Structures are given as C-alpha cells and as structure tokens.
Amino acid sequence: MKTLTIKDAEVAVDEVPILSNISLTLLPGETHWLMGPNGSGKSTLANALAGHPKYTLKAKDIRLGDRSLTEMSVHNRAQEGLFLSLQYPPALEGVTVTNLLKNAYNARFHTDVSVLEFRNILKAAMEELELPQDFTSRYVHAGFSGGEKKRLEMLQLRILEPEVAILDEPDSGLDVDGLKMLADQLRYIQQRTGMGILIITHYTQLLEYLEPNYVHVLKSGQLIQSGDQELARRIQREGYGSLS
C-alpha cells in the first residue's frame, strides 16, 4: 500500500492563496482526521489533492507512494488509488451504478471485465455491505438520500480498493444509525485493504464510532495543531475558539 506524503504544500484558487504550510503523512492503514471550522480550507485541500483544475497545488514534496502527485493527471491520481468522496456528490442521470463502477473498476485495475463478470464482483461486494440488489440499476446519486449516497460511496471504496481515501464530511446529513454504519463499513474495508483514510469533518460525533490515529486542525488556511483523539475531544468540549 502507498503512503500519502505532503510537505509544505500550498494551494491557491484563481491565484488567491488559500492554504499554506500544510504537511502531513498518512501511512497505510491509518485514519487521520482533518478538522476545522467552516471556511478554513478543508475542502480546498481535498480538491487540490484530487487534482481539481481550479486549484493550484505546490509543495516541497507531495507524493502518493513514490510518485509525485503534481505530475499526475486527475485520471492518473484516481487510477493510482487516490479516492475523493465529495460532500455534495452530483447526480449522474442516465449513468447506472453498475456502469459507473464497472468502468472505474476496469480503469483502476487495468483490466476489461465484461458486464457479466462484473455483476458477480458487484454482487459479492453488495452482499458484504448489505446493500439492496436494486441499488445497482439506479442512476448514480439521483434521488439518493444522504444515507444512500454514503452507502454508494462505501461500495465504491469496496470495489475500487483505493490506497488513500479522502472523505469530505462523510458524516454530514447522517443520523446515528447512518454514522455507525459508515464507521463499521469504513473499518471493514480498511482492514481488508489497508488503505489510509483522511476524514474531513467539523463535527465530532463520529469519534464514538471511528477512532482516528491522528487529528489535524486547520484554521484560516494553516494547520495550527496536530494531535491524537484528545485534540478532537477538546474541540468537542471547547470548540475551535480554544485553539490558536
């Protein structure tokens, strides 16, 4: 599995600097949380890592495994195992879940499985994640509830087995049962694959279900503090205002 290495990264949007001095190392099998108040730059970092064309990413060193991220196209980053789940995933009318996943699977694993072969792969994954079979014939995210969107993303993780999964506020819009299921499935997939997970969140409810190895706090575009779960608990008790 691959390590995500970020050293002294900065990100600008349309030449306006948003983030600076960002460093973190996410090892295989680790779960890190990136926390911070609204507008602190969390999604900006996620988008820049994934290669969104609006965001300019520069760094002293930024790698997925031994490959420099900034030299890789968006497609290439995904193919090499960088996965980004969006806070508000767009609906893809006309694209079925099966179709999206089959194409992504073939690209990720440099293969060309048929629809029939892929059905079996998908069926096994869906049984493991306890998803209803009619899920696959629906259009991607179209009319999905918040909980269903997250379950579809867990299915993507299970099928695509990324090296590093960046999840932008996966807890938003989930009820307690949804949170618990999300945490269980993430843990299951991580144990199976050894992927590193970077969870972006400004809430701390997930703490009860999914313990991070490290917590990083972003404020006004800078990483102001890193620590363990105790840092998240402090934020839970005292808010971001207590950190400087």
Chain contacts with Mg ion (rule: CB under 5 A): 42-43
Cα–Cα distance measured from residue 190 to residue 29, given in angstroms and rounded to the nearest whole number? 6
> Can residue 40 be called a binding residue for ligand ADP (CB under 6 A)?
yes
Cα–Cα distance measured from residue 206 to residue 183, given in angstroms and rounded to the nearest whole number? 8
> Can residue 136 be called a binding residue for ligand ADP (CB under 6 A)?
no
Cα–Cα distance measured from residue 40 to residue 62, given in angstroms and rounded to the nearest whole number? 21
Cα–Cα distance measured from residue 194 to residue 162, given in angstroms and rounded to the nearest whole number? 9
Q: How far is the CB of 136 from ligand ADP (least distance, A)?
A: 31
Q: Which does 190 bind (CB under 5 to 8 A by kind): ligand ADP, Mg ion, none?
A: none
Q: How far is the CB of 76 from ligand ADP (least distance, A)?
A: 22
Q: How far is the CB of 217 from ligand ADP (least distance, A)?
A: 11
> Can residue 170 be called a binding residue for ligand ADP (CB under 6 A)?
no
Of the residues 39, 132, 146, 239, which one makes contact with ligand ADP according to CB under 6 A: 39
> Can residue 54 be called a binding residue for ligand ADP (CB under 6 A)?
yes
Cα–Cα distance measured from residue 199 to residue 197, given in angstroms and rounded to the nearest whole number? 6
Binding segment toward ligand ADP, per CB under 6 A, in 42-50, 128-136, 149-157, 159-167: 42-50
Of the residues 6, 41, 82, 151, which one makes contact with ligand ADP according to CB under 6 A: 41
Question: DSSP string covering 88-120, please?
Answer: SPPPEEEEEHHHHHHHHHHHHTT----HHHHHH
DSSP E strands: which ranges in the chain? 4-13, 16-26, 31-35, 55-58, 61-64, 67-68, 82-85, 92-96, 139-140, 164-168, 196-201, 214-219, 222-227
> Can residue 185 be called a binding residue for ligand ADP (CB under 6 A)?
no
Radius of gyration over every alpha carbon of the chain, rounded to an integer in angstroms: 18
Residue pointed to by tokens 């599995």: 1
The nearer residue to ligand ADP, 45 or 207, going by C-beta atoms, is: 45
Binding segment toward ligand ADP, per CB under 6 A, in 36-44, 138-146, 158-166, 181-189: 36-44
Q: How far is the CB of 41 from Mg ion (least distance, A)?
A: 8
Instruction: Specify which residues 57 forms β-bridges with.
Output: 11
> Can residue 44 be called a binding residue for ligand ADP (CB under 6 A)?
yes
- Residues lying near ligand ADP in the complex (CB under 6 A) are found at 13, 18, 36, 38-44, 54
